[in-house]
A and B are shown apart, each in its own frame.
Chain A
Amino acid sequence: MDRLKLLDQYNSAADIWDEMYDKQQIRDHYSKVFTSLEQFDVSALQQKDRLAGELFMNQGITFTVYSDDAGIERIFPFDIIPRIITGKEWEHIELGIKQRLKALNMFLKDIYNDQQILKDKVVPASLVASCPHYTRDVFGIKVPHDIYVHISGIDLIRGEDGLFYVLEDNLRTPSGVSYMLENREVTKRIFPELLAANHVRRVSNYPLLLHEILLQMAPTQLSNPTVVLLTPGIYNSAYYEHTFLARQMGITLVEGRDLVVDHHKVYMKTTDGLEQVHVIYRRIDDEFLDPLLFRPDSALGVPGLMNAYRKGNVAIINAMGNGVADDKAVYAYVPAMIKYYLNEEPILPNVPTYELHDASVRKYVFDNIEKMVIKQTNQSGGYGMIMGNKVSAEDWEKAKVAIEADPRSFIAQPIIKLSTVPCFIDGTFQARHVDLRPYALCGPQGVQIVPGGLTRVALRKDSLIVNSSQGGGSKDTWVID
């Protein structure tokens, strides 16, 4: 029997928070899983790993890599060892996210209506005015129940001190929720005994909660409003998720070409003629939604959609113009928004963020660059990032010129060593860095968050970048009591 001693090759570093091992012993909430994992031999775990891969492949949970003329289907890497969070930690996260979303929704309403927060100089007006995602076209539009952010995927990280920090808010079209749900289904197949023994809280009701919120957003009182999910189509990397959610909610999955606007109302083209659409859960970015207003070359959207939205004949979820609150420089003001709108202290802290328009701050950042990460304010997905401890001297010189030329488009944050968890890699257990993306839903009854989320893991050794576009994978995430 080739049994693994879990800790034999486990390489969690001294200055990093490890979710399982506190440098002396296994943390309590991991103990059951730890003991069970030690019972398996390597080949049994490899067998489970293979089975998980096949399950993803056969369900078509894949993306296509094009090389030569043949498309090759790949699955998003999945690590079989679950990441575990205690019920107590979860309560804290939940409270923090609820507070944050409440403030962010109020901010978006304010910024597209009275702009009180700018007048009171809590957030500099120049910051908002210079944000490319501030959408003047939606100024003054009333949205149902004053909700702008219905669906968010707030990225949390855990620092060396064991505290959770908010890294990004993702208030536009966050993806990955299908992986949260599918990861759990796959775990049910490969570790049924572990799941049963640990009393893991349920996540599977997410689509039902979402569906309920979508129905409540219908602009007029209808007993049976038509809700659709608008996808860019089968070539989009998140297409699987769009079909998954549409199927789970029983709503129609439409593409831009299926919709048409007539007299400021949105219709879909059916075999029985046109049928009015009341709610659109869109998975297309703002700038592609209406070619008449934004990008005229885009065929993904629906001409005239914006007019129907402005007239209140259709609800768009998430609301248009949310990008302004996703801007990485605006992000720095979220704690101030919480204080301003709610008169509360933030429960979940931000990662310290340096705005670079101030020359003295810029100098401080440049002097300490080996401890900093520079990010472009309007980028996501791990693009446009400069890790100060890895960047070459030449690239850094170029970056400095770019920052000096347009400091508004960059921010700096101290490099935070994300916490690590055990992963099953090449037949051994190894520590890898992770973040956590819980999915929060905001409806007329308040914010609901299914207990769990997507744990993204940087599968490359020592890498801190968890994005799937940059070699990241994911894990099932358990909240246990």
Chain B
Amino acid sequence: MLSRIADSLFWLARYMERAEGLLRVTSTHYILSLDKDVNGPLTWKPVLETFTSCTDAEMDAIAHNTGDALKKLLTDNTNHNSLKVIITKARENARGIQDYITKEVWEEVNSFYHLIHQPSLDKRLSNYEAADILDLFTRHSVLYTGITDITMARGIGWGFMNLGKYIERCLETIVLTNKQYQRINYRMDEIKDIMLWRHLLMSLSGYELHLKTYRSSLYNHDVLHQVSFNEDFPHSVVYSLGRIDRHLQDVTRKNSSEDMAALMRCFGRLFSKVKNTDLDVLNNDNLQQYLEDLRNDLLYFTTLLSQKFFSYA
């Protein structure tokens, strides 16, 4: 497979996964914003901090205005991580590999792109139509996932797409988890209300699983277990890494050079660190460090991966 195509497949999948994540977080936040939060009036600040590079002043100006915050997150061209920009980038990548991806995948990405470029969107976002729009976008996002799954050929290209997808997903879980624990100053020992965790769990589509799986009221522990170590939870760190492991083996199967062995070792260290960590070891003092290390290790692995496979220009 052409390195350029592998690169574009990887980034197409990453951007689409990022869009999905952004949509779920935004939808969850929007729905919850209609209730009064346990800690007073809900602010968009944590979402804006995670998904935009706004300055504090910019953030303060829109943090309490749902319409403006939604516009910033979804349709603002100046926000490099807005849904519109992400989808545009995903489409640019898809466009360069139109001959490789299936017609169905291309048409889905393309129609998503045209949808988000409709000029009337901004107005509708401020007009209490936000839920409809977010639903529509989310539907396109899952449609993309389904279409990709049932039409794309398995093989090395599929491997690169999944590497992109699960690296992005894993990073997102780590970042959102970190953000949420930061809000309680990484206090693992305090018993907190499940309502506080609802935001994170719903953003990761894991709220129902949580209610079904965990019976104790040690929410702070349970949530960390779910998002980090629960192998049945498709957004958990360990699940994502497991997928990365599998697809990494697929793409390196034909290539037994020393470079590849080094790449595998780099990933192996990261994966075993997660697999072999005890939940009980994580406490108020080391949780932040643990999450940040995890993120940095994953980013380092991603850099190595792109050096090995995507160097062409």
Interface residues in chain A, defined as those with a beta carbon under 8 Å from any beta carbon in chain B: 57-60, 69-70, 73, 229, 233-234, 239-240, 242-244, 246-247, 251-255, 257-258, 268-272
Pair A257/B98 contact, Cβ less than 8 Å: no
Bound CA span A246–B103, Å: 12
Pair B111/A58 contact, Cβ less than 8 Å: yes
1/0 per position for B100-134, CB-CB distance to A under 8 A? 10010011001100100100000000000000000
From B98, B107, B111, B312, A253 is in contact (CB under 8 Å) with B98
Closest residue to A73 on the B side, CB-wise?
A: B114
1/0 per position for B188-205, CB-CB distance to A under 8 A? 000000000000000000
From B1, B2, B114, B251, A58 is in contact (CB under 8 Å) with B114
Known interface pairs A243-B98, A246-B99; A270-B3 also in contact (CB < 8 Å): yes
Question: How far apart are B104's CB and chain A's nearest CB, in angstroms?
Answer: 11
Bound CA span A239–B91, Å: 14
Pair B98/A58 contact, Cβ less than 8 Å: no
Bound CA span A251–B99, Å: 8
Question: How far apart are B15's CB and chain A's nearest CB, in angstroms?
Answer: 16
What are 21 residue pairs bridging A and B, where the CB atoms are less than 8 Å apart in the complex? A58-B114, A59-B107, A60-B98, A60-B107, A69-B77, A229-B99, A234-B92, A234-B95, A239-B95, A243-B98, A244-B98, A246-B98, A247-B99, A251-B99, A252-B99, A253-B97, A253-B98, A254-B2, A257-B312, A257-B313, A258-B2
Pair B4/A57 contact, Cβ less than 8 Å: no
Question: How far apart are B183's CB and chain A's nearest CB, in angstroms?
Answer: 37
From B4, B95, B110, B309, A258 is in contact (CB under 8 Å) with B4
**B146 at the binding interface (Cβ < 8 Å):** no
Bound CA span A361–B233, Å: 83
Contacts of A251 in B (CB 8 A): 99
Contacts of A272 in B (CB 8 A): 1, 254-255
Pair A58/B3 contact, Cβ less than 8 Å: no
Bound CA span A239–B95, Å: 9
Known interface pairs A58-B107, A59-B107, A271-B156; A252-B2 also in contact (CB < 8 Å): yes
Pair B251/A271 contact, Cβ less than 8 Å: yes
Pair B96/A271 contact, Cβ less than 8 Å: no
Bound CA span A258–B1, Å: 11
**B6 at the binding interface (Cβ < 8 Å):** yes
Contacts of A269 in B (CB 8 A): 2-4, 312
Bound CA span A22–B97, Å: 48
Pair A268/B2 contact, Cβ less than 8 Å: yes
Bound CA span A445–B168, Å: 52
1/0 per position for B251-280, CB-CB distance to A under 8 A? 100110000000000000000000000000
Question: How far apart are B118's CB and chain A's nearest CB, in angstroms?
Answer: 12
From A60, A229, A243, A270, B2 is in contact (CB under 8 Å) with A270
Contacts of A229 in B (CB 8 A): 99
Pair A271/B107 contact, Cβ less than 8 Å: no
Interface residues in chain B, defined as those with a beta carbon under 8 Å from any beta carbon in chain A: 1-4, 6, 77, 92, 95-100, 103, 106-107, 110-111, 114, 117, 156, 160, 251, 254-255, 309, 312-313
Bound CA span A244–B98, Å: 8
Bound CA span A344–B312, Å: 52
Bound CA span A255–B2, Å: 10
* Interface SS of B by simple majority: helix
Interface centre among B98, B99, B117, B251 (most CB of A within 10 A): B99
Question: How far apart are B165's CB and chain A's nearest CB, in angstroms?
Answer: 17
Question: How far apart are B155's CB and chain A's nearest CB, in angstroms?
Answer: 11
Bound CA span A250–B276, Å: 46
Bound CA span A247–B106, Å: 12
Bound CA span A257–B310, Å: 12
10 pairs of A and B residues whose beta carbons are closest in the complex: A243-B98, A246-B99, A253-B99, A60-B110, A247-B99, A269-B312, A271-B6, A243-B99, A234-B95, A269-B3
Contacts of B6 in A (CB 8 A): 271
List 15 additional A-B contacts (Cβ < 8 Å) besides A60-B106, A242-B99, A243-B95. A58-B114, A59-B103, A60-B110, A234-B92, A234-B95, A240-B98, A252-B99, A253-B98, A253-B99, A254-B2, A269-B312, A270-B2, A270-B3, A271-B255, A272-B254
Bound CA span A234–B251, Å: 27
Closest residue to A251 on the B side, CB-wise?
A: B99
Closest residue to A250 on the B side, CB-wise?
A: B99
Contacts of A244 in B (CB 8 A): 98
Bound CA span A107–B251, Å: 50
Question: How far apart are B70's CB and chain A's nearest CB, in angstroms?
Answer: 20
Bound CA span A258–B5, Å: 9
Contacts of B2 in A (CB 8 A): 252, 254, 258, 268-271
Pair A257/B4 contact, Cβ less than 8 Å: yes
Closest residue to B254 on the A side, CB-wise?
A: A272
Question: How far apart are A54's CB and chain B's nearest CB, in angstroms?
Answer: 10
Pair A247/B103 contact, Cβ less than 8 Å: yes
Known interface pairs A234-B92, A269-B2; A58-B110 also in contact (CB < 8 Å): yes
Interface centre among A57, A58, A69, A244 (most CB of B within 10 A): A58
Question: How far apart are B237's CB and chain A's nearest CB, in angstroms?
Answer: 27
Contacts of A234 in B (CB 8 A): 92, 95-96
Bound CA span A49–B114, Å: 19
Contacts of B98 in A (CB 8 A): 60, 240, 243-244, 246-247, 253
Known interface pairs A253-B98, A258-B4, A271-B6; A57-B114 also in contact (CB < 8 Å): yes
Closest residue to B255 on the A side, CB-wise?
A: A272
Contacts of B309 in A (CB 8 A): 271
Pair B111/A271 contact, Cβ less than 8 Å: no
From A58, A69, A243, A255, B4 is in contact (CB under 8 Å) with A255
Bound CA span A304–B77, Å: 41
Question: How far apart are B80's CB and chain A's nearest CB, in angstroms?
Answer: 14
Closest residue to B101 on the A side, CB-wise?
A: A247
Closest residue to A260 on the B side, CB-wise?
A: B312
Interface centre among B4, B77, B156 (most CB of A within 10 A): B4
Bound CA span A423–B100, Å: 37
Known interface pairs A58-B107, A59-B107, A247-B99; A271-B114 also in contact (CB < 8 Å): no
Closest residue to B103 on the A side, CB-wise?
A: A247
Contacts of B1 in A (CB 8 A): 270-272
Bound CA span A251–B98, Å: 12
Closest residue to A243 on the B side, CB-wise?
A: B98
